[in-house]
Amino acid sequence: MTAAAENGAQTAGRPTRLPRSARRKQLLAAAQEVFVAQGYHSAAMDDIAERAGVSKPVLYQHFPGKLELYLALLDTHADAIVASVRDAMASTTDNKERVSAAVRAYFDFVDHKSEAFRLVFESDLRNEPAVRERVERVEQGCIAAITDTIISTTGVHRARAELLASGLVGAAETAAQFWLAAGRQVPKSEAEALLAALTWRGIASFPLQGESAPPQGESA
């Protein structure tokens, strides 16, 4: 019996076949639940197949192994995080609002996709080169999006802009992770506002291109 036929037989009473893209999405969702609940090392392909309601041959038709499945999940979420930060930077020309939007992008991701956030930033497989590369790609992609904005508005050199951007990304990522782990004790909107205010106070000290820096001690 082929894997497709086997899958059809075991799913009697419900849709027997899904388009490949829909099946892949279903398998990724099941894998995410298992990986977050058990961690990569404890999760088994048997567990993922059972959670998805398919046979192992069907699972292997889409993903040749557990690592490939895990990496596919990371790719999906990595792209989503970077896109959110890029959208935040493009959402307004007001730099104060851009900072708020960047912070909000992280808190939104944590709030609405907490499993995905844990998968990317709390992986128990960070020493695996392919996993580490993807996590670093998320951080570098977010830093790059903010760096370009800092350069275009302040005129500081790229190395300095990257350093500033890494500070904003690190603060947003760490604060959002802490907020989630602490059980969302502070209302989300207030948490975002607090971090955005803290970050903006620092970035606002850098003048826009063509402007002079405010006198020392003067508020931006």
User: pLDDT for 62-90, tens place per residue?
Assistant: 999 999 999 998 888 888 889 999 999 88
In the chain, how long is the greatest CA-to-CA distance?
78
The verdict on residue 181 lying in a domain is yes
Instruction: Give the structural domain span for 84.
Output: 70-203
pLDDT of residue 10 exceeding 90:
no
Residue found by looking up tokens 């889409």 in the block: 62
The verdict on residue 170 lying in a domain is yes
Mean pLDDT, the chain, rounded, equals 82
SS3 113: coil
Pair (121, 191) in one structural domain:
yes
Dist CA 195 CA 107 (whole Å): 10
Pair (186, 95) in one structural domain:
yes
Instruction: Supply the pTM of this predicted model.
Output: 0.71
Pair (103, 172) in one structural domain:
yes
Mean pLDDT of 14-32: 83
- Residue 132: which CATH number? 1.10.357.10
The span from the first CA to the last CA of the chain, in angstroms, equals: 71
The verdict on residue 218 lying in a domain is no
pLDDT score recorded for residue 107? 92
Domain count, the chain: 2
Supply 75's token pair: 């790719």
Pair (101, 197) in one structural domain:
yes
User: pLDDT for 155-199, tens place per residue?
Assistant: 788 998 899 899 999 999 899 989 988 999 999 999 999 999 988
Q: 112-124 burial, b if ≥16 CB within 10 A, otherwise e?
A: ebeebbbbbbebe
